[in-house]
């Protein structure tokens, strides 16, 4: 029987480990934290996942929280305008629902299920020197340890990484008590508020330990007014600053947030990182090779909510590649081909995310503006979060954008 090691128990690592386990593989999973530590720890993400990624979980029957989590039916976009108003405000309908299940709930639950089903779970923070040994004893080592230190084994791919510094600061607060959006009180949506020159405020429904919650997530332009969370350790101070910034820059969102309180002591998170694509094969000092998974090899800024979606797609692509490979050796050529398969979905997500981090060119502003009066444009934009490859057809090129808007207007 083939022996596989998965290092890191996040979205991708657990999905691969549980998937391989269901196909009878002998899998060892290394996690630097126990399920209880994850559950009682700090929030890690806003983890909104769209239809395709959720379907990968359903295919493996891992969608344990689907009936409890709020169904996100739409994606709304607002652009702050003069006098505290909105220059743009629309809602696009998603073809399939999206959901956000707190990773503390999901990863802790999945880890326990992996162990209950007979999987070998080892609590250990792996170092590069450990991997040297593991690469000799396992048929394949998959490194799914997120953006931590182990990425140092994987060379940065400069041709696919346009940025060499963080493009946003990230500040998250999970809350109870957010009021409904007056424009569509009966419909849950992710709301993306763009504040030119300042950043973005995302507001999204989620499921956490204490039931339904909403997430307030500021992405701030470094050095700007939202880049103000560094050094704040006290969760209530974090929430106060979040609300203060909402009152100033997105008063329409603040109006429904006046009664919110944090869901728990670990409900806040802040940080920043540089979006980076890496080469998929990690080289070990002893000569061995390991395969990088999800954020290890493609870490995009969360401004487009693609990371967990991409992690689920990466896990699905690698799982198929492993199953199809049968008993043949997992050599470097195979590792590269497994990554190439993943890159088919990661490439559009990466290009779109990197584009959304830059100030929008005129033709993009035209698309965003037109969506306010053309629901089909709003719907298409919203569904691009599930399948960013669709943006290739109308988003990047001014001529294609103009032709698309013309045809959408003619059909309206
Ligand atoms: C603020 C924020 C908001 C986000 N919002 C969204 C969103 O709305 N939608 C979306 O799709 N994505 C979002 N993302 C991105 C998403 O959370 C990540 O891309 C996704 O979790 C990556 O999954 P992963 O399995 O690669 O890594 P992770 O989820 O980071 O999992 C890696 C695991 O490995 C463990 N680990 C690390 N080092 C070691 C080691 N040496 N040994 C053993 N274990 C180790 C870690 O503790 C962790 O459990 C967001 C991210 C952030 C920071």
Q: How many domains does the chain have?
A: 3
Q: What is the mean pLDDT of residues 347-354?
A: 98
Do 172 and 26 share a structural domain? no
Which atom, in ligand 1's list, is nearest to the CA of 296?
26
Query: Mean pLDDT in the chain?
Result: 97
Does pLDDT of 83 surpass 90? no
Domain check: are 327 and 232 in the same one? no
Residue that terminates a domain, selected from 236, 254, 271 = 271
Residue having the nearest C-alpha atom to atom 53 of ligand 1: 45
pLDDT tens, residue by residue, 95-130: 999 999 999 999 999 999 999 999 999 999 999 999
Q: Over the stretch 148-175, which tens digit does the pLDDT of each residue have?
A: 999 999 999 999 999 999 999 999 999 9
Range of 250's domain?
Answer: 72-100+167-271
Residue 316 sits in a domain whose CATH number is 3.50.50.60
Beta bridge partners of 140: 4
pLDDT score recorded for residue 84: 87
Task: Express each pLDDT in 232-246 by its tens digit.
Answer: 999 999 999 999 999
- Please report whether residue 67 resides in a domain: no
Q: Do residues 154 and 223 both lie within one domain?
A: no
> Within this chain, do residues 326 and 291 fall inside the same structural domain, yes or no?
yes
| pLDDT score of 143 more than 90 | yes
Same domain? For 215 and 266 the reply is: yes
At residue 82, the pLDDT reads 87
Ligand 1 pocket list (CB less than 6 A): 7-13, 30-33, 45-49, 125-126, 144-146, 148, 150, 170, 172, 269, 294-295, 302, 305-309, 311
224 shares a domain with 287 = no
Domain end position, chosen among 271, 300, 334: 271
Q: Is the pLDDT of residue 13 over 80?
A: yes
* Antiparallel, parallel or unpaired: β 140-143 and 3-7: parallel
The pLDDT of 360-380, averaged and rounded, is 97
82 shares its domain with 186: yes
Q: Identify whether residues 176 and 43 lie together within a single domain.
A: no
**299 confidence band (pLDDT: 50, 70, 90):** very high
If you measure from the C-alpha of residue 1 to the centroid of ligand 1, how many angstroms do you get, rounded to a whole number?
30
Are residues 230 and 280 both part of a single domain? no
* pLDDT at res. 86: 96
* Residue 306 covered by a domain: yes
Residue 293 CA, closest ligand 1 atom number: 26
pLDDT > 80? residue 219:
yes
DSSP 46-115: --EE-HHHHHHHHHTT--TTTTTSPPEEEEEEEEE-STT-EEEEEEEEEEEEEEEB-HHHHHHHHHHHHH
| d(CA 303, ligand 1 centre) in Å | 15
Q: HSE (CB half, 13 Å, CA atoms) of 326?
A: 2
Domain end (from 237, 271, 305): 271
Q: pLDDT at position 1, please?
A: 72
Q: What pLDDT does residue 248 have?
A: 97
239 and 93 in one domain? yes
Under 8 Å between Cβ of 168 and 222: yes
């Amino acid at each position: 029987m083939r022996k596989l090691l998965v290092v890191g128990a996040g979205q991708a690592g657990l999905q691969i480990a549980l998937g391989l386990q269901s196909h009878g593989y002998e899998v060892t999973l290394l996690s630097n934290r126990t399920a209880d530590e994850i559950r009682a720890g700090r929030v890690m993400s806003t983890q909104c996942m769209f239809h395709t990624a959720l379907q990968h979980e359903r295919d493996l029957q891992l969608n344990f929280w689907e009936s409890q989590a709020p169904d996100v039916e739409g994606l709304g976009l607002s652009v702050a305008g003069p006098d505290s108003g909105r220059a743009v405000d629309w809602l696009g309908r998603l073809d399939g629902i999206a959901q956000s299940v707190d990773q503390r709930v999901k990863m802790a639950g999945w880890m326990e299920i992996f162990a209950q089903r007979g999987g070998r779970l080892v609590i250990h923070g792996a170092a590069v020197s450990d991997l040297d040994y593991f690469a000799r004893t396992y048929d394949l080592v998959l490194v799914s340890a997120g953006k931590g230190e182990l990425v140092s084994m994987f060379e940065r791919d400069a041709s696919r990484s346009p940025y060499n510094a963080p493009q946003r600061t990230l500040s998250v607060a999970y809350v109870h008590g957010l009021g409904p959006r007056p424009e569509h009180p009966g419909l849950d949506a992710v709301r993306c508020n763009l504040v030119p020159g300042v950043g973005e405020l995302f507001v999204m429904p989620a499921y956490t330990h204490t039931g339904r919650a909403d997430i307030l997530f500021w992405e701030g332009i470094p050095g700007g007014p939202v880049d103000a969370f560094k050094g704040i350790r006290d969760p209530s101070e974090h929430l106060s600053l979040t609300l203060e910034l909402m009152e100033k820059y997105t008063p329409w969102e603040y109006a429904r947030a006046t009664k919110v309180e944090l869901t728990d002591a670990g409900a806040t998170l802040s940080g920043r990182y540089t979006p980076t694509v890496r080469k998929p094969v990690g080289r070990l000092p002893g000569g061995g090779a390991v395969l990088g998974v999800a954020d290890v090899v493609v870490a995009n800024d969360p401004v487009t909510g693609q990371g967990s979606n991409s992690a689920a797609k990466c896990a699905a692509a690698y799982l198929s590649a492993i199953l199809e490979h049968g008993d043949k050796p997992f050599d470097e050529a195979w590792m590269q081909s497994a990554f190439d398969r993943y890159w088919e979905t990661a490439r559009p997500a990466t290009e779109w995310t990197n584009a959304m981090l830059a100030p929008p060119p005129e033709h993009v502003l035209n698309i965003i503006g037109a969506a306010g009066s053309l629901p089909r444009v709003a719907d298409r934009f919203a569904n691009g979060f599930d399948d960013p490859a669709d943006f290739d057809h109308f988003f990047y090129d001014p001529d294609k954008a103009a032709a698309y808007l013309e045809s959408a207007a003619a059909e309206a």
